[in-house]
Structure 1
Amino acid sequence: MAQHVRDIMTGDPATVEPQTSVAQVARIMRDEDLGVVLVTDGDDLRGLVTDRDLVIRSVSEGRDPERTTVAGACSDDLVTIGPDEDLVHAVELMREHSVRRIPVVDRGHPVGIVSLGDMAMERDPESALGDISAARPNT
């Protein structure tokens, strides 16, 4: 059983710059079958945007998705974790901050994402969440 974040994280996360349009981020999510994209300024992590963020913070406000940048839709009060941290700590952070995904950062640079689904597949692959997380997406 994996014991460290690096063992189960999704590496090489999709990233965009803050000035990227919401529409472009949505297309990246669609094309790469992602629910989250990291927002970076150069090599530094600035935020995280989920498909839900795009809907709640942009589309539902009536903003033009081609002209609205992701900077206004992303979460910038981030909880991060290092790749060598124990999985128990990742679970604690998710519970404490009520988040489903945590960017994995090494020396200030994003190297991956660890999600609740990753945890479920590792810790209880027979659970409903483990099954759902391992299944092919509905397209």
Structure 2
Amino acid sequence: MAQHVRDIMTSRLVTVEPQTSVTAAAQKMRDEDIGIVLVCEGDELRGVVSDRDLVIRSLAEGGDQEKRTVASACSADLFTLTPDEDLDTAVQMMREHAVRRIPVVDQGHPVGIVSIGDLAIERDPRSALGGISAAEPNE
């Protein structure tokens, strides 16, 4: 059984710069079949923007989405895990902050993302969430 975040995190990162339009970020999420992108300047993590952030902080506000940047839709509180932290810490952080995904950083640089689905697959693969998380995405 995995013990550390590094054992279950997704290491394929999708990033955008803060000045990227929310439309471009949404298209990237669609094309990559993901629900979150990391907002980076160079290799420094500056924030995250999720599909929900785009709806609540951008689309619902109206206006020209091509002119609105991901910087305006980012989650205000940025918290992260390190690859060496144990999985209980990840669970506790997700509960405390009511989030489904947390960026993983090593010496300040993003190296992965751990999701509630990753934890469900590891901890209880026969659960409904574990099964859904392990399934192929809908087309």
Tell me the TM-score normalised to structure 2 length.
0.97
**Separation in 1 of the partners of 2:103 and 2:18?**
16
2:24 counterpart SS class: helix
- Output aligned runs, 1:55-134, within 5 Å: 55-134=55-134
- Contact 1:46–1:76 (8 Å) recurs in 2: no
**Separation in 2 of the partners of 1:63 and 1:54?**
13
Q: Are 1:32 and 2:32 counterparts?
A: yes
1:11 counterpart SS class: coil
Deviation at residue 63 of structure 1 after TM alignment:
2.4
Check 1:27–1:39 CA distance in 2 against 1; reply closer, same or farther (3 A cut): same
1:104-132 deviations in Å (ceiling 9; x for gaps)? 00000010000000000000000000011
Deviation at residue 72 of structure 1 after TM alignment:
0.3
1:10 counterpart SS class: coil
**Separation in 2 of the partners of 1:60 and 1:49?**
15
**Separation in 1 of the partners of 2:97 and 2:76?**
14
Q: Runs of at least 4 residues of structure 1 off by over 2 A?
A: none
**Separation in 1 of the partners of 2:20 and 2:120?**
32
Deviation at residue 64 of structure 1 after TM alignment:
1.3
**Separation in 2 of the partners of 1:121 and 1:55?**
27
Deviation at residue 65 of structure 1 after TM alignment:
1.4
**Separation in 2 of the partners of 1:127 and 1:6?**
22
Structure 2, unmatched stretches of 5+, are none
- Alignment size in residue pairs: 139
- Contact 1:45–1:109 (8 Å) recurs in 2: yes
2:54 matched to which residue of 1? 54
Specify the code of the residue in structure 2 equivalent to 1:99: V
Deviation at residue 99 of structure 1 after TM alignment:
1.3
**Separation in 1 of the partners of 2:63 and 2:57?**
9
2:45 matched to which residue of 1? 45
Structure 1, unmatched stretches of 5+, are none
Identity %: 71
**Separation in 1 of the partners of 2:124 and 2:39?**
31
